[in-house]
Amino acid sequence: MDERILEKTLDIAEQFFGSQEHPDYIPITRESDQKFERINPNFMVYKLKDGEPISWILVLPTSLDLMNKFIKGDINERQLLDLTKPEEKFEALYLCSAFTVPEYRKQGYVIEMFKGVVKTIPLKDNFSLFAWPVTKEGRKLTEKLESVLGHKILIK
Q: How many domains does the chain have?
A: 1
Range of the domain at 70: 3-155
The model carries a pTM of 0.86
DSSP output for the chain = --HHHHHHHHHHHHHHH-GGG-TTSPP-SHHHHHHHHHH-TTSEEEEEETTEEEEEEEEEEE-HHHHHHHHHTSS-HHHHHHH----SSEEEEEEEEEEE-GGG-SSSHHHHHHHHHHHHS-EEEEEEEEE---SHHHHHHHHHHHHHHTS-EEE-
The 10s digit of each residue's pLDDT in 14-29 is 566 655 676 787 777 7
pLDDT at 5 over 70: no
Beta bridge partners of 41: none
Spatial neighbors of 136 by CB under 8 A, at least 6 apart, are none
Q: What is the pLDDT of residue 117?
A: 94
pLDDT one-digit tens code per residue, 89-99: 999 999 998 98
- Nearest alpha carbon to residue 151 among 132, 127, 133: 127
CATH number, position 132: 3.40.630.30
